[in-house]
Amino acid sequence: MAKEKKEKNLDTEEIKEENLEEVKEEVKEEKSELDILKEEKNELNDRYLRLLAEYDNFKKRTLREKEAIYVDSALDTISLLLPVIDNLQRALDSFTDKENDFYKGFEMVYKQTQEIFTKMGVSEIKALGEEFDPELHNAVMHIEDENVTENTIVEEFQKGYMYKEKVIRYSMVKVAN
């Protein structure tokens, strides 16, 4: 009986060892499958994050392009209107009678146009009496004048304009040397 019990215990141990090996093999396979699934999940997550970043960059780029188109259109329109402003100013300067109804009409149109420009972000470049700045002014004449500081603008032939921080048209000026 003791011999039978020993054999039975040996058989049970062999079965347990076989089962243990099978279970270990199954665990290995499951672990391998789990690793594959984790890797796939990581790849999909990475793709998702890349697509999200790409979409965000796309939105930013299209917003910049849209703003650039608006700025370019505004600059084109403003540039086309500058000669009109110049002509209105010349018309106002040509009147000797400031009480004339035509003068008052031209003055109203001129002021209204200036207000529209101001609302759009357009401003005149200050020139007369200012120091010459090649980034804002275009010197078309130079004079020698000891009464004026060097590089001072003494006359403005044509007004310059800026749209926000960008020069639309440089002021044409006479500069004292």
Go through the domains of the chain in sequence order and give each one's CATH number. 121-177 (2.30.22.10)
What pLDDT is attached to residue 11? 62
User: Does the pLDDT of residue 10 top 80, yes or no?
Assistant: no
| Average pLDDT score over residue span 138-165 | 93
36-50 pLDDT, tens digit each: 999 999 999 999 999
What pLDDT is attached to residue 86? 95
* pTM score: 0.66
Which pair of tokens denotes residue 59?
Answer: 């939105």
What pLDDT is attached to residue 28? 84
The answer for residues whose C-beta is within 8 angstroms of residue 9's C-beta and 6 or more apart is: none
58-84 pLDDT, tens digit each: 999 999 999 999 999 999 999 999 999
Question: CA–CA separation, 71 vs 102, rounded Å?
Answer: 35
Phi and psi angles of residue 82, each rounded to the nearest 5 degrees, phi first: -60, -45
User: Does the pLDDT of residue 107 top 90, yes or no?
Assistant: yes
| Average pLDDT score over residue span 27-35 | 87
Of 166, 176, 6, 2, whose CA–CA distance to 72 is shortest? 166
User: Does the pLDDT of residue 167 top 90, yes or no?
Assistant: yes
3-state SS, residue 154: strand
